[in-house]
Amino acid sequence: MAELSSRSLTADIQSAMKSGDKERLSVLRMLATALKTAEVEKGGELAPDDALAVVAREVKKRQQTADEFEKAGRLDRAEAERREAEMLKGWLPEELPDSELAALVDAAIAETGASTPQEMGKVMAALMPKVKGRADGRKVSELVKKGLGG
């Protein structure tokens, strides 16, 4: 994962400009804008976790948009959105392997003492801070549901 800082982002933007990679340049500029907007909304510099949350949000937006384009039969636009999401994922920490994620889910279920699907919120509240930015929320939710017999 690339260290998410304004200096490294600026260096990547300059590199994309020099290489003529317009698609990468566009994605990096969009990321810089999203980060700046989040800083303005917060009223100060973003903590590393906050910056990663912005990147994760942008990845999710691209994935959802790609799905919508695919449903509409616009496969060219869907593919472009997926490429952008992949570029943005380079700024996120590496995803947890399935085995490690399953172990964290089991540990969170044991830690909270949850045993029914109705207690899923309690498990998710304990688990999400541990996997933030390193696992897809939908995937985590499915594993928790399965672990609680749902």
pLDDT in tens, 64-75: 999 999 999 999
**Within 10 A of 33 (CB to CB), how many other CB atoms are there?**
10
Is 2's pLDDT higher than 50?
no
- Percent of the chain topping pLDDT 70: 95
- Which whole number is the average pLDDT over 119-124? 87
pLDDT bin (cut points 50, 70, 90) of residue 136 is confident
| Residues with Cβ within 8 Å of residue 81, at least 6 apart in sequence | 62, 63, 65, 66, 69
pLDDT reported for residue 9: 86
- pTM score, two decimals? 0.72
Sign of the Cα pseudo-torsion (75, 135, 38, 28, in order) = negative
- Which whole number is the average pLDDT over 31-47? 91
pLDDT reported for residue 3: 53
Is 133's pLDDT higher than 50?
yes
Is 55's pLDDT higher than 60?
yes
- Which whole number is the average pLDDT over 11-24? 93
